[in-house]
Amino acid sequence: MQELHLSNNKDYLLDRGYDIPGFGSILSIQTLRKLNLSNSSLTNSTIKQLLEAFIKNASLQELYLDHNNLTIEHIKILAEALKQNTSLQVLDLSGNDIPEEAVNSLAEALTQNTTLRVLMLSNVRLSAELIQLIIETLQQHNCLRVLDLSDNYFDEQNIQALVEAWQVNSHLREVDLINNELTWTSVLRLLMDLDNADISDRIEQIKLGGNPYIETVNALLKQETSLEESEFLNFIKEGILTGEDITKYAPMASQLMQKLQS
């Protein structure tokens, strides 16, 4: 067996939140590569069993624990496992309310882990300060390719850290910033700083949709603008940046920023 899916489980036991003795033993299956427990209704003790077993696992490559009401204890056990694990490549913790203490443990683990490629932290209520901590770890954990920070509180104060992480981490390719706190000036600055850092060739995609800047863009599109400005506004409204886009539109972002500051 290579994959096990128990997401959105409506099994009699899981749906009623009962413990499942020995559940962690599934990770003794050395052929198991993917375990999907998204929104699984597992109890705290059952999840704890699983994570404690994960410490000894050397085969699992994908683990989905999103929307499981993970506790600080769960995250700490997972963090200890990540320090030792040499197989996991995809980890989804989205939809769990992760407090500061747990984020600190996770960030420390990332500095020691060498295999994780995809980390999903969507809607985990990360403040700008905690996002800063996660991003700064990418300067030491230089294997991550995809980071999902959607539905959190990423704002302008996190931009410099993201750019610096991208300069150091040559493997980072995609960052999801949908539904955060990016204003119009934040987006302009992001474009300019990424272009100035000369790393656009590494960037495959940055997702920006659903941020507050969209309101400003819509207002500007109702005003009289040049063809170049109109093209830029319609582009940025779509909310997806590629490396080529950054190179192409950074000069216009700089012009618009100068207008705002004049």
Q: Which tens digit of pLDDT belongs to each residue from 51-80?
A: 888 888 888 999 999 999 999 999 999 999
Closest CA to 37 of 70, 75, 9: 9
pLDDT score recorded for residue 22: 58
Closest CA to 74 of 36, 111, 113, 45: 45
Question: Which residues touch 255 (CB under 8 Å, ≥6 apart)?
Answer: none
Token pair of 41 as six digits: 């209704």
**Phi, psi dihedral angles at 39 (to 5 degrees):** 50, 50
User: Can you tell me the distance from the alpha carbon of 133 to that of 161, in angstroms, rounded to the nearest whole number?
Assistant: 9
Name the amino acid, one letter, at 132. Answer: Q
Closest CA to 175 of 134, 218, 214, 236: 134
Q: Which residues pair with 205 in a beta bridge?
A: 174
pLDDT in tens, 187-226: 999 999 999 999 999 999 999 999 999 999 999 999 988 9
Going along the chain, which residue ranges are E strands?
Answer: 3-5, 34-36, 62-64, 90-92, 118-120, 146-148, 174-176, 205-207, 240-241
**Structural domain of residue 75, as residue ranges?**
3-261
Q: Which residues of the chain, if any, have pLDDT below 50?
A: 10-19
Q: Is the dihedral of CA 18, 124, 209, 192 positive or negative?
A: negative
Tell whether pTM > 0.85: yes
Q: How many folded domains does the chain comprise?
A: 1
CATH of the domain at 57: 3.80.10.10
